[in-house]
Amino acid sequence: MRNDHIAIHSEGEESAHRFLGTLNTAPTGGMLNACPSEAIKVLEPSKKPKTFCKQVRNADFIVLDISQFSANLDEAQTLLQALKFQDTENVADKQQTLVVVSSAMTWSKSPRKKDGSAYSDRDLDSRVPLPKYQQLKQIEMAALALPKHNDKLRVHVVCAGFLYGNGE
């Protein structure tokens, strides 16, 4: 996603990508690292919600990680609301991409298919999660509904299996 090499060689025509994010400050949220460069800015949605929404609306590429139990689901809802209710007249005609990293456990109580085949995108509405994963499924469904409100937004949901390494 970084384009520093393009920005350096484009003679001022392109600028380096900026990365915005939030920190998981929950005790089980893993390590807290300082920002590694000036290209990364940490947002605090609870302290400055209007700034957070403005930054989300201006982003080209958004990654929403709700795969961990320590994920802030209220923050995820705020992000989805910002994308849903953005003023399309004030936003340039630019394409936005939202990638939601979720858990495969949103399929955990789904019955097996009678023919033994694997689940596909067509089976999305028939999945049944365990109760503790119900809110993840709701966030996924809300994200997938966003393109109905904003035709410039592409949404992808990725179900991560097991996360490992670097303290996860």
CA pair distance 143, 31, nearest whole angstrom: 27
Q: Model's pTM, two decimal places? A: 0.74
In the chain, the N- to C-terminal Cα span, in Å, equals 22
pLDDT tens series, the chain, 168 aa: 555 556 566 665 666 666 666 666 555 545 455 555 555 566 677 777 788 888 888 888 888 888 877 778 888 888 898 888 765 555 556 788 888 988 888 888 888 888 988 888 888 888 899 998 899 999 999 999 999 988 888 999 988 766 566 555
Q: How far out from the chain centre does Cα 103 lie?
A: 12
φ, ψ at 154 (rounded to 5°): -105, 135
- State both tokens at 19: 């990365």
If DSSP codes are grouped into helix, strand and coil, which group holds residue 112?
coil
pLDDT for the residue 93: 62
153-160 and 96-103 as β-strands: parallel, antiparallel, unpaired?
Answer: parallel
